[in-house]
Amino acid sequence: MAAYGKLHRACLIASLLALIACADVMARQPTSAAQAETLLRELETYRNEGRLDKAVELANNNPTLPGQLSDRTMRARLWRAYGALRYATGQWEEAESLLTQALTLADDGPLKAAAANDLGLVKIARREPLRAIALFKEAYAMTSVAEDLELRVRAGMNLTRAYLDHGQWGTLADSLASNAKDLALLGDAPAATPQWLRLGRLYLEAGARLNAADYRLRSFQVLQKALAMSRRADNKAQESYALGYIGQLYEQERRVEEALDYTRRALFAAQEVGAEESLYLWQWRMALLLRQSGDSVGAVRSYRQAIASLNRIQSRVQDHSLVNFREVIRPLYYGFADMMLARSAAMTDAEGKQSILQEVMDALESMKLAEVENHFNSECMALPERQTKLTEIAGGGAVFYPVSLADRTELIVLMPDGARQFTLQVNASELQALTIEFRTQIEAYSSGAGYLAPAQKLYSLFIEPVKSELQRQNVSTLIVVPDASLRTIPFAALHNGQTFLIEQFAIATTPGMTLTEPAPFQRDGVRVLAGGLAAGAQGFAPIPGVAAELRRIEALFPARRIQDKDFVLKAVKREIAQGEYSIVHLATHAEFNSDHTKSFLLTYDGRLTLDSLQDSVGLRRYTGAPLDLLVLSACQTAVGDDQAALGLAGVAIKAGARSALATLWFINDRAASQLIGEFYAHLNNSGQSKAEALRKAQVSMLSRPGSSHPSLWAPFLLIGAWM
């Protein structure tokens, strides 16, 4: 979704309710219709001012108004407005439902086309590109040059963007030509400039992906036109984009000096009007170009400026899709880390080295927060009230920061006496292939010992270089802040040829240390909500071991048990929100998807989404009784899907829990019940950390005949507070 860019989204926001104007309709309308018109105008005002929080509040205060309207067109207009608002705030499932209703109700061409176009954007966000393409085609076909030219241009460009991102090269040239033809009819009006910029960007990206000089030439011509239009209108923000994109064209041609010149001019134009939404982009491009030209000092300075600008804009931009994580944020932070870690590796000054490593870790922590917020499409994450500072890691713990780069992998290990840097001779592509091999082999019980070879390779890469230091400093717990594909594997099952890593250290994982609350487990007054599905439901297979799993919890802690027909969505949400539980244990099918709105926990009669889980747990934060531990004992993530694994890793943060215990893949229910029972038994012993309780449970499992294969015990991950 984010690839559709700020320029497109600004156009969407500006024109979201353009079809609603029709002031003459208000005369002699029933009260509800007049209320709807007023509401739509207020929503448009808030959206144009960038005050999404106010727009959401206004829509939430009028949830039933559309249903009170007898006029189909008015209902469709309101559903479309609500749906577009939900899309902009990352609530894609709700957006899809609302926009589908609008599309069904709409009778007139422009409104129906607008709803189809907006629904196509939602489908892009939900990673359904073929359906999105069909909707964009439908929207484009319903528009006319005479009456709906602006909507036609937007729908056509969305279609081209979808072709480009989905690799449909055969239709790309014709689609771009149609865009140019339609856009030419808008003329040189100032309102057309953003669309000319967008077209220039589409040609620019097409030229880069296909290495096509003709597309680059066409991009240059379009961007020169946009540049002239922005200057006539004295619009420095638009001028900045035109100059910056032209700079990228020269960068594609490897003409670094010209690229630097245009990028500097883009930077100055953005600075002149305080356009920070583009400022960080040009600072980042400057860093890349200065590095290419050999000016490492200037490159580092520009990287720091870009990160500072990005941090400022992220703190106030409510629509997080305006800032693209995979295309901008991650490359920006990793480019900075690459340069700084190369500098650190060559240093002999211990104090200077520590300073650089600390700066890199701080930058990575900022990136980790942005990544979690980007995944869940929300700046309203339930962040811990007190965050773990990198300077206050408790003795006995070591934090692993792997950074996979194009030519190598860097490993920063924060130990009790400071940080250490290790350069690993494996690049990002090689590491991804190795982790996929490991995950594929270890997940299948039938693979036998096929997991050992990749397990030993990973051990030799990540543990062997640092093992002596870990032993010297009496480290007992490893806290892994995994990167990309490393999220999809259990570090517990890394192997040195004789023993598993879990036999040597307790292990926890977290999306980021500053996303973790440093709070030890409180044993006094523990109360558990123990819920689950032993019976099959909604086409999902039964999990017979759930009954024994829940009974064992009841034997160890005061617990409220809800199972099978009592495990309904309404009751689960009520108990989580209102019950005074320190542990919530949900033994039910749970699936984590790269689109977080498709992730869910199964109840007897429905599906508990992560958003609903956040809402339910979040209510507890105002009672002073935050959830200490969330346990999900039957989760599933896809092999190689690091975004689904990120959703799993972020579940504690999303839910507002201090920590979570969850599985990377679904396992034998008897094995799950045994391990969970052992975990709780150890946790109930005074002095045991959650990480150590899990370690002992896993070691106990692997020492038993019939349950020693890591597919049965390794997928359990402790996420968040490990104390």
Which DSSP string corresponds to 493-523? G-B-SSSBGGGT-EEEE-S-GGGS-------
- pLDDT for position 418: 93
What is the distance between the alpha carbons of residues 3 and 139, in angstroms, rounded to a whole number? 20
- pLDDT for position 1: 39
- pLDDT for position 241: 97
Task: State pLDDT tens for residues 31-40.
Answer: 577 888 888 8
Return all residues near 499 (Cβ < 8 A) that are at least 6 apart.
Answer: none
Task: State pLDDT tens for residues 279-330.
Answer: 999 999 999 999 999 999 999 999 999 999 988 887 554 444 445 677 788 9
| 273: nearest Cα among 321, 241, 305 | 241
> pLDDT band at 12, cuts 50/70/90?
very low
- pLDDT for position 630: 93
The CA-to-CA distance between both ends of the chain, in Å, stands at 38
How much is the mean pLDDT over the chain? 88
Looking at residue 142, its amino acid is: M
Share of residues in the chain with pLDDT > 70 (%):
90
Give the global pTM.
Answer: 0.87
Provide mean pLDDT across the span 524-540: 94
- pLDDT for position 612: 85
> Of 11-20, 249-258, 366-375, 660-669, which has the strongest mean pLDDT?
249-258
- pLDDT for position 643: 83
How many beta carbons lie within 10 A of that of residue 378, not counting itself?
Answer: 19
Cα-to-chain-centroid distance, residue 255: 35
- pLDDT for position 383: 57
Task: State pLDDT tens for residues 62-115.
Answer: 887 887 888 888 889 889 999 988 888 778 888 999 999 999 999 878 999 999
Provide mean pLDDT across the span 182-188: 89
> pLDDT band at 519, cuts 50/70/90?
confident
Provide mean pLDDT across the span 600-611: 92
639-649: b (≥16 Cβ within 10 Å) or e: bebbbbbbbbb
Task: State pLDDT tens for residues 465-484.
Answer: 999 999 999 999 999 999 88
User: For the residues of 349-407, what is the DSSP string, one character each?
Assistant: -HHHHHHHHHHHHHHHHHHHHHHHHHHHT-S-----SSPPPGGGPPTTEEEEEEEE-SS
Task: Give the three-state DSSP class for 242.
Answer: helix
